[in-house]
Structures are given as structure tokens and as C-alpha cells.
Amino acid sequence: MASTRKVGVAVCGMGKIGSVHLNHVVRNPRTSVKWLVEEDLERAVHLKNEFYMDDSVQIVNASKLNKVLEDKTTAVTTAEEYSFSAFKNIIQICNIVERIHLLFIFYFQDIFLQFFIHICRHFDPSIRDICKRVKAGELGEVKSIKTTSRDHLPPPISNLKTSGGIFFDSATHDMDLICWILGESPSTLYCQAHAFNPEIAAIDDFDQIGIMMKFPGGAIAHIDINRQALYGYDQRLEVFGSNGMLESKNMYPTSVHYHSKYGHSLGHIEDSFTARYKESYRLEFEHFLNVYQGIESTLDVSEEDCIRVTRLSECCRESLQSGKPIQFKMS
């Protein structure tokens, strides 16, 4: 039976993504913010005021909660110290810098943790429609799939130094997306990369990578990733099969077309991932709430999905170092 009780939420990390999720928690009629967990207490106070939160919302220093994520025994003690156990149903949204470099969403229920790995492209309406139609057989035999992912502006070097590298903080999304659509893991992977930006080269990372994957069913995937595209945040997907092709193109802030004697233009495409995937972030939080409250039965992103994409990222690095294709195995 689905729960109808309003759910308390702790948002851990008030960075760019944390702020996006905080906005959805505040605006969702099913949830209420209980805690803001952040090392930068001034920023937490600023966001609390920006969203007109009352004094019932507690601000907690994130550095004091590290052991909640490190040790289960300590977690119970620490959770009780901060009154987490006073709430039977708590969702906690937390940015954790781990090898897979994704967002973990989980909830406390009598200090029991359930994890949902955030991969927002699964919830993009256009991409989700393509996935559904491919799995329904509309394209027939899938022969190739291509993704293009280019940042508008490169992330700050300070961020890249701790991100794990382009294979883990960027390519993971494209490789996961392709495996999700095709419903299988690749058999072979080959990768090449280069650093055009000297600052990125100096930290032993790359700003241009190309990845090719061959799948057991015969499909070949091509991934093109770059850290900078002057024209905007470039996100495209194409799936080609024996019955035709499906593609998802870039999105624009408005649908206005300008026509003149020189031709016509659409303006600039969206300039950031928070703008391009704005609806995806909202829908994934709705999905998580639905599972939590018993409206849906299964979380969309599985443990296997996350393990696979982490290993694929490691294969990219191995292929680049060896200059050879890598045979991929899950075990």
C-alpha cells in the first residue's frame, strides 16, 4: 500500500547539483526539508533564506557527519546525535565523490539505507522515448548508436583535479546510456584521447575523447566527448537500425525562429547540464519518491548498471594506455 505521509528530507551538499535537488524538494508537495548538511555554513544559511525556510529546518556541518557514510555502527550513533532517528521516514540526498562519481540518493528508515544511483539521462523524456521504442523493436535490428556530449565551458581545474578524470565524471553517462538502450554490455571497447587545453594536460587528464564499443548483437557504438563547445551544451543521440533511425537533438531555451533575407536562426542551444536536463532531475526525484512510497516497485538504475559503467571507465583508461581494444567482462 502506498504511503501518503509527507516525507522529511535531508539534503547533503549545497553545490550546483545539491541546489538543483533542493529546489525540487522544496517545490514537491510530497516532501519537506528537515536538514541542510553542508561544510560551507554561510552558503547553507543563504539557501535557507533564499527558499524561505523556517526555523524548523536544521543546518548541520557536513564534516561532522562523515562517519555516517563510512561505518554502519557509527552511523546509528551519529544519526541519533543529530536526531535523525526522530523521523521514521527520511530521504537524504547526498553528493559523494566516489569512483563512479555519480549522485547517491538514499533514505533513512530506522537508520536503514537504500541507495538510488542518480543517472539523470535515464529520465530525459526524449531519451526515454527512444529507449522505449528501441526495446519495442521499432527500429528492427540496431546497427549503430552514436552520442555527442560537449560541455559549453570546461569545468574549473580545481574541480577536475578531484573528479576522477573525464572517463569517470563524463564518459560514464554516455556508456551507461548506450548499454541501457541496447539492453546489453559491450564485448569490446577501444578508446583514444587528447588534451588540447594545456591546463587539463598538466593534471594528466583529457578534453577530447573518442570511444568505440562493439556489442554481442552486432551494434557498434560511437561516443564523442569534449570539454568545450563555444556554441553551447551539445547533447545528441542517434540510434540507427534496419527499420530506420531515431535521434534526440539539442534543446533551445525558446522555440523562436528568426527569419530574414539572410536565412533563419534558432539562437543558442542550452548552455549547461542543469538547463538541458532540468526536467530529468525533477522526474528522477518523482521516480524515487514513487518507489519509496510504494507507487512503483523497482528503482530504475540498478547496482549492476553502476558496476558496469565503472568497469567500462577503467577499460577506457586501459585501452588508452595500451593503444589496443579491450575485451569487456562484467565478472
Please report, for the domain that includes residue 14, its CATH number: 3.40.50
Q: Residue 155: exposed, middle, or buried by beta-carbon count in 10 A (0-12, 13-18, 19+)?
A: middle
Block residue for cell numbers 533575407: 261
Which residue in 134, 170, 135 sits closest to 248, CA to CA? Answer: 134
Q: 262 with 310, same domain?
A: yes
Q: 108 with 131, same domain?
A: no
The answer to whether residue 259 is domain-embedded is yes
N- to C-terminal Cα separation, the chain: 37
Q: 219 with 163, same domain?
A: yes
Q: 114 with 132, same domain?
A: no
- 278: domain CATH number is 3.30.360.10
Q: 62 with 90, same domain?
A: yes
Q: 136 with 202, same domain?
A: yes
Q: What is the pLDDT of residue 3?
A: 56
Q: What are the phi and psi torsion angles at 132 (to 5°)? A: -60, -45
The answer to whether residue 1 is domain-embedded is no
**Could you say which of 95, 118, 141 is where a domain stops?**
118
Q: 239 with 304, same domain?
A: yes
* Cβ atoms of residues 178 and 213 within 8 Å: yes
**Could you say which of 88, 118, 148 is where a domain stops?**
118
Q: What is the pLDDT of residue 2?
A: 55
Q: Which amino acid is at 199?
A: E
Which residue in 172, 153, 176, 174 sits closest to 163, CA to CA? Answer: 172
Q: What is the pLDDT of residue 298?
A: 84
Q: 111 with 125, same domain?
A: no
Q: What is the pLDDT of residue 116?
A: 63
Q: How many domains does the chain have?
A: 2
**In 97-229, which residue ranges form alpha helices assigned H by DSSP?**
125-135, 157-160, 166-169, 171-182, 198-202
CA 268 remoteness from chain centre? 23
Please enumerate in sequence order all residues whose Cβ is within 8 A of that of 290, keeping only pairs 6 or more positions apart, or say none. 296
Q: 107 with 216, same domain?
A: no
What is the residue range of 45's domain? 7-118
Q: 257 with 174, same domain?
A: yes
> From the first residue on, what is the mean pLDDT of each consecutive set of 10 residues in the chain (331 residues)?
68 80 89 83 92 88 56 36 37 38 37 58 95 98 98 92 89 95 97 98 97 98 98 97 98 93 92 93 88 84 84 95 94 70
Q: What is the pLDDT of residue 39?
A: 81
Q: 163 with 56, same domain?
A: no
The answer to whether residue 270 is domain-embedded is yes
**What whole-number distance in Å separates Cα of residue 8 and Cα of residue 25?**
9
**Could you say which of 118, 146, 178 is where a domain stops?**
118
Return the number of other C-beta atoms located less than 10 Å from residue 193's C-beta: 20
Q: 171 with 316, same domain?
A: yes
The answer to whether residue 2 is domain-embedded is no
Q: Which residues pair with 109 in a beta bridge?
A: 112
